[in-house]
Amino acid sequence: MTDSHHLATCNDALLIVLRHPPHGSSWLREGIDVALVTAAFGREVELLFQGDGVFALLENQTTGALGQKGTHPQLMMLEMYDIERLWVSRTALTERGLTTDDLMLPVSVLDSDEIAALHAAHASSLIF
């Protein structure tokens, strides 16, 4: 399901890695904000969801314990900003008992070696 050719040739895109859940901190929301702002200025952006970051993609999110809103509204804006390459760690999904059918957006699932290649293919990345 991965585009191996793309993994080797996407050096100009900014890779943003989202590792935190939608609630409990502002890391995830800030990462998505950076992605949207960067894309608004014309730079290609790709997102990699790892660890608890995969929870951001779950359907039917509710508010967090402190009334924190989910990230659905921000994620629904990705397409408007031409952020179309969404990557997800297979390990993160498996460890959390999830499949791509549980996710609200289409994603490409990557194994560990493919994630390493994805990082190597990007000159710039930010981790949230």
Q: Where are the domains of the chain?
A: 4-127
pLDDT at 69: 64
* Mean pLDDT across 82-107: 96
pLDDT at 59: 82
Complete DSSP assignment for 56-84: GGBSS----TTS---SHHHHHTTGGGT--
* Mean pLDDT across 67-73: 68
Q: 45 by DSSP, 3-state: which?
A: strand
**pLDDT at 66 exceeding the cut of 80:** no
Confidence of residue 1 (pLDDT cuts 50, 70, 90): very low
Q: 51 by DSSP, 3-state: which?
A: helix
4-127 belongs to CATH 3.40.50.10610: no
Question: Model confidence over 10-54: pLDDT tens digits?
Answer: 568 999 999 999 888 889 999 999 999 999 999 999 999 999 999
User: pLDDT averaged over the chain?
Assistant: 87
Could you tell me if 68 and 74 are in contact, meaning their C-beta atoms sit under 8 angstroms apart? no
The 3-class secondary structure across 3-27, one letter per residue, is CHHHHHHCCCCEEEEECCCCCCCCH
* Mean pLDDT across 86-95: 98
Laid out side by side, the sheet with 124-127 consists of: 108-110, 85-89, 45-49, 14-18, 124-127
Neighbours of 72 (CB within 10 A): 17
Question: How far is Cα 68 from Cα 120, in angstroms, rounded to an integer?
Answer: 34
pLDDT at 71: 77
More confident residue, 68 or 37: 37
pLDDT at 7: 52
pTM of the model: 0.86
Give residue 57's identity as a one-letter amino acid code. L
